[in-house]
Structure 1
């Protein structure tokens, strides 16, 4: 199925929000947008002058035309102007979810109040939304006003935001993204909250962009989320990319009439300055949001420099392969010992470190940071789950380099909190060396990762890369290519190393 997204929403005659904004945002992420118009608004930059709801017959005809030819991966819903529209759309969604071979993901942006303060839907629609629509919604993206309208929870602090998200889930919505643009907490910041279907809660935040040109921000954010979900991105990535897209659009938005201008529409965000911070316990924003700090808090940021890109990067699990790779001129090697209970673990790590010094290569130790510190390793490589467990302060104090794995844009921005020595991105392709179900990134994402991070960190691509794929990976501009089987399972490993070096170094 092609990356088709439907937008069921109202038309904005001023071109800044509604269907018009949805199409622009979706096309920025290279998905095809189809539309079902629910209302024609008469509005300009000064406000909404009239709202003309489409009849259910007109909406039905649009839906039927799309069903027979262009089914959607994701259906984004915006303005539903009355109870009859809500009931009709809900009936269709229920049918799609029950009968389509690939049931669509439903993203709902509850357009009840415009940024200008105008009420855009009839007052008696709230009960109908809760009864008919919300049980079919996969992701709901209300702003603070809409959250309060739907839940009755006044958002006076972080705990109230969580309570409201849980209440929306109790109505049937699976995942909740509460947009904080109107919240202003902490003062001068825009902080957004997400609660996944699996009950994972997380916050994103950045300094508020001071601009009057905010028309269409809500529509555009939810449309980016819908587009990214259609491309197979997890919600965390879709959310953080949507935030970066909006932040850039707010920075360069301009006025076209006498009133408020629309958020600008650009392209896939590749500039780190527009990305929000992943807010973690112990940070200033984390304290403001009352995030519980672990009893053993060992956060540190800013680790030793590698002195440049890492080149060919071999990931191996034996000392024999550590020495073979270093002796053959591989500049960077990682020892990944899978058996943490191995009786020779410490001896193997100590020997690998010694080999690195002997051949003047960079040897990273995967996971076992205590032993790496004890024996003076060049560096340590940690996964995302290890960042909460390892004593980062001790690693930093020992002067070790730190590499961090990332499996998407959310994890990438989270890793940026720690200012590591390098960032690894993967898995680029499926691999047999590690279960990466749901975490295959592909070349398209790698092409966005490289320009986003290369000015700040040495970059590494990893996962399923062999001799037939290495040249394509290197063509993205990534600074290092990490391989496993491409060397260890080669008929002639030295020849394989030489070929890989040529592909990476040009």
Structure 2
């Protein structure tokens, strides 16, 4: 069954925003949208002519009907037209969160001002939002106007954005997404911000892209929040929901069409498959980060554009933890092998890397060293493989200048776009399936996501890793990924030579 997402929001008679936009955006991401309508607006492309709030009795009847038969994984809240509606919806949300076996996540898009500039809520609702609703909200998604209206913080730079987000979190919201469509800083760019308080210590994410020049942007806020809700319902992490929602909006703005004489709606399209529609992940070392005056971590050395691999089809990729296993794999004709040693004295690691590099030359193979980039440089390895957590610690300039290839791990869409900043030699996607080699809780990608990753990163050799065995190798290779990495499928096989031969056959027959 598809995941169910509710939208509690107003109806836009012009079809560009409100529940009309919500349902279309949700359907684009494969979830089933249900509605509880809070207001009937009389509006068209020129503006809002009338706002007709629905009675609390009618809203409650909608919510009771949905709760009885179609409980939601995520509830997206849009326009609440008055204090009574805010109180009613808050009471119901509180009830769901305390009584449902799987409490719903709540995404709140505080509809205050439409793109046309019309005020859509009564002024006395702000205090009720802070007191009743925000303590129940998992993600709040205001635009810059709505952020300033709620917090009183004028968004004149990154520090002010962080200050406003902290205020919203202090009132109860676990995570904040501030949409930057109305914020022209730096000039000509759209910058969006997310702070996720559900992670240890909180994690912040900045996205940026050139402004898409179109007047037809009605419904962007509703649509972006709805995509976030849909992605959360599909158990995507918030950072992935954030970047996918932004790519979806960019795609829709480029395809927007004018209806009527005023502001047309953002186009409701499909899952974003074009890399050009995705924003840039802003991090230290990028020019957008410099424009925003981000502080670079100590010793951080940004580098991009690493040497290319000989082919985009790396084939069977063995990941092993000993030099003995590395030689066994190379001797059986595996061309791409990674030495992943997590333990050992400094001398043992040095000797192992030196031996691995020599074996690579002996068997004409491509040996990558996991993590130990200094030793990889010292001994002239073919390449080094790093995780996302290593990017701020490793000397990327030294790796590049030494001529080493760089492979990067990614876990989801956000990390994939972050890795793209570095233009690595190849990109690895994982974990495709659950694995016992490391704790990948919340990071299982599955074939559905892999089928999106591969075409988006078609300029790179791509590698799938995590829980892949012989039974799964063919279906993984059928996604078009250029390489399938295995760990236990070789080292724990009763006959490793036969296992390698069968894996090679499975991958090559469908790759």
TM-score normalised according to structure 2 size = 0.98
Deviation at 1:495, TM superposition (A): 1.5
Alignment of 1:235-274 (within 5 A): 235-274=238-277
Deviation at 1:341, TM superposition (A): 3.0
Moved more, 51-60 or 194-203: 194-203
Alignment of 1:424-435 (within 5 A): 424-435=428-439
SS at match of 2:129: helix
Q: In structure 2, what is the Cα distance between the partners aligned to 1:330 and 1:284?
A: 40
Alignment of 1:132-211 (within 5 A): 132-197=132-197, 198=199, 199-211=202-214
Q: In structure 2, what is the Cα distance between the partners aligned to 1:24 and 1:331?
A: 47
SS at match of 1:469: helix
Would the aligned equivalents of 2:300 and 2:393 in 1 still touch at CA under 8 Å?
no
**RMSD of aligned residue pairs (Cα, Å):** 1.0
User: Residue 121 of structure 1 corresponds to which residue in structure 2?
Assistant: 121
Alignment of 1:465-480 (within 5 A): 465-480=468-483
Which of residues 445, 459, 470 is equivalent to 2:449? 445
Q: In structure 1, what is the Cα distance between the partners aligned to 2:255 and 2:134?
A: 34
Q: In structure 1, what is the Cα distance between the partners aligned to 2:496 and 2:271?
A: 39
Would the aligned equivalents of 2:285 and 2:301 in 1 still touch at CA under 8 Å?
no
Alignment of 1:85-484 (within 5 A): 85-197=85-197, 198=199, 199-308=202-311, 309-341=313-345, 343-454=347-458, 456-484=459-487
Deviation at 1:294, TM superposition (A): 2.1
Would the aligned equivalents of 2:314 and 2:461 in 1 still touch at CA under 8 Å?
yes
TM-score normalised according to structure 1 size = 0.99
Would the aligned equivalents of 2:490 and 2:499 in 1 still touch at CA under 8 Å?
yes
Q: In structure 2, what is the Cα distance between the partners aligned to 1:433 and 1:131?
A: 46
Q: In structure 2, what is the Cα distance between the partners aligned to 1:95 and 1:295?
A: 47
Deviation at 1:2, TM superposition (A): 4.5
SS at match of 1:344: helix
Q: In structure 2, what is the Cα distance between the partners aligned to 1:298 and 1:149?
A: 39
Deviation at 1:340, TM superposition (A): 4.7
SS at match of 1:423: strand
Report the number of matched residues: 505
Deviation at 1:195, TM superposition (A): 1.1
Q: In structure 2, what is the Cα distance between the partners aligned to 1:306 and 1:360?
A: 14
Deviation at 1:35, TM superposition (A): 0.5
Q: In structure 2, what is the Cα distance between the partners aligned to 1:367 and 1:429?
A: 23
**Correspondence 1:63 to 2:67:** no
Deviation at 1:342, TM superposition (A): 5.6
User: Residue 74 of structure 2 corresponds to which residue in structure 1?
Assistant: 74
Which of residues 468, 484, 488 is equivalent to 1:485? 488
Alignment of 1:46-57 (within 5 A): 46-57=46-57
Deviation at 1:343, TM superposition (A): 3.8
Q: In structure 2, what is the Cα distance between the partners aligned to 1:340 and 1:231?
A: 40
Deviation at 1:489, TM superposition (A): 1.1
CA deviation string 1:464-485 (max 9, x = no partner): 0001111111111111000011
Q: In structure 2, what is the Cα distance between the partners aligned to 1:12 and 1:440?
A: 38
SS at match of 1:468: helix
Q: In structure 2, what is the Cα distance between the partners aligned to 1:9 and 1:353?
A: 61
Deviation at 1:297, TM superposition (A): 2.7
CA 1:364–1:48: 2 relative to 1, 3 Å: same
CA 1:250–1:107: 2 relative to 1, 3 Å: same
Deviation at 1:436, TM superposition (A): 1.0
SS at match of 1:202: strand
Q: In structure 1, what is the Cα distance between the partners aligned to 2:160 and 2:322?
A: 52
Would the aligned equivalents of 2:205 and 2:239 in 1 still touch at CA under 8 Å?
no
Deviation at 1:293, TM superposition (A): 1.2
Would the aligned equivalents of 2:323 and 2:355 in 1 still touch at CA under 8 Å?
yes
Deviation at 1:62, TM superposition (A): 0.4
Deviation at 1:339, TM superposition (A): 0.2
Q: In structure 2, what is the Cα distance between the partners aligned to 1:395 and 1:266?
A: 41
Q: Which runs of 5+ in 1 are unaligned?
A: none
CA 1:261–1:54: 2 relative to 1, 3 Å: same
Q: In structure 2, what is the Cα distance between the partners aligned to 1:353 and 1:434?
A: 26
